[in-house]
Amino acid sequence: MRAVFLGTPDAAVPSLEALNRVADVAAVITQPDRPRGRSRTPQPPAVKEHATALGISVHQPGSSREIASILTGIGSLDVAVIVAFGMLIRPEALALPLRGFVNVHFSILPRWRGAAPVQRAIQARDPATGVTLMQLDEGLDTGPIYSTRATTLSPYETAGDVVDRLSRAGADHLEELLPLIVSRGVVPTRQDHERATHAAKIGPGERRLEIDTPAAELGATIHALSPAPGAFAMLAEERFKVLRVRRTGRSSSAPGELRLVEGRLLMGTATEQLELLEVQPSGKRVMSGRDWAMGRHEALGTLT
């Protein structure tokens, strides 16, 4: 089969590799290079780098309006596969591949449609999530479903952990099922739209930790936002990210109070203590909570 792939971040790379094993990938479409790092030098997306290494031609449209003309220029296509692309696909582009667009979505649809399905599943403390292969339509993750695969969620997994796991599971699922989809050996089923939930993009106002909330809720927020954009707190005038925690049981510490006990950095909450396992001070590398606390010249105190 002749296919085109649309995707942008690291999480899309395993699916590109899977597609390349089962299809003739005529081209890859990805986002433009973006400034990154302290130098703000434009850097290519992970999918572009990988496609170039595979010898596949790459297109980087500046807007969704350009996608239809790119596809027309590529010529006859059996299918388009899209994973974490970051642009909406317009109706005129959706109609071009013979079997349409197959989307690898990181949730069990119809739960968590939208931009941040993994983050919202962790934040809501869902017991499970998964990957869904679906037919893309004009709505936001509203198309009919070919297949889903579920996996349990651990309370100590971060969004980065889960995305990495789902990106591999989704690629395996795509490699197995796509030939059947193209040959019409699999018929998609309509979603139950009444059960749908929306996974809105993480907003800037959600990142600051509410230290007087219960430990389970606080931990879920921290892990949902890790590693990026990262939940943060303030200690005196110092801002730092909290990236991974562990619940340790009840204590008499006030919410937000930090203590270094037997080499562990502990923080009080509205219910029980959290151990801060990984933190990232502003402008510095990720480190253990213990190393950060021991390297401070000032005393610990209470977060604000």
Q: In the prediction, which pLDDT does 246 show?
A: 96
What pLDDT is attached to residue 247?
94
pLDDT at 51: 98
| List of residues 6+ apart from 49 with CB closer than 8 A | none
By mean pLDDT, which of 96-100, 195-199, 207-211, 292-296 is the weakest? 292-296
- What average pLDDT score do residues 32-55 get? 91
CA 14, distance to chain mean position in Å, is 14
Where are the domains positioned within the chain?
2-199, 204-295
Pick 204-295's CATH classification: 3.40.640.10, 3.30.360.10, 3.10.25.10, 1.10.10.200: 3.10.25.10
pLDDT above 90: residue 176: yes
| pLDDT > 70 in the chain, percent | 100
**End-to-end Cα, the chain, rounded Å:** 57
pLDDT for the residue 296? 85
- Summarised one tens digit per residue, pLDDT across range 80-108 is 999 999 999 999 999 999 999 999 999 99
What is the pLDDT averaged over residues 230-257?
92
Cβ proximity of 67 and 93 under 8 Å? yes
pTM, whole model, 2 decimals?
A: 0.94
Look at the domain 2-199 and name its fold: Rossmann fold (3.40.50)
Question: Under 8 Å CB-to-CB from 37, ≥6 apart: which residues?
Answer: 43
Dihedral sign for Cα 221, 226, 230, 233, please. positive
CB 172 within 8 A of CB 149: no
For residue range 118-171, list pLDDT tens digits in order: 999 999 999 999 999 999 999 999 999 999 999 999 989 999 999 999 999 999
Q: For residue 250, what pLDDT is reported?
A: 81
Helices (H), 96-254: 117-123, 159-182, 215-224
pLDDT greater than 80 at residue 201: yes
Confidence of residue 38 (pLDDT cuts 50, 70, 90): confident
Residues 6 or more apart from 88 whose CB is under 8 A from it?
Answer: 64
Cα-flanking dihedrals φ and ψ of residue 129, to 5°?
-145, -160
What pLDDT is recorded for position 154? 93
pLDDT at 298: 82
Euclidean distance between CA atoms 108 and 129, whole angstroms: 6
Whole-number pLDDT of residue 182: 97
Band (27; pLDDT cuts 50, 70, 90): very high
Confidence category of residue 237, pLDDT binned at 50, 70, 90? confident
- State residue 252's pLDDT score: 77
The rounded distance, in Å, linking the Cα atoms of 148 and 188 is 11
CB 58 within 8 A of CB 52: yes
Kindly report which listed range (38-47, 55-64, 218-227) carries the lowest average pLDDT score: 38-47
**Rounded CA separation 254/57 (Å):** 57
Which residues does 50 contact at the CB level (< 8 Å), separation at least 6?
13, 16, 17
Number of H helices, E strands in the chain: 8, 17
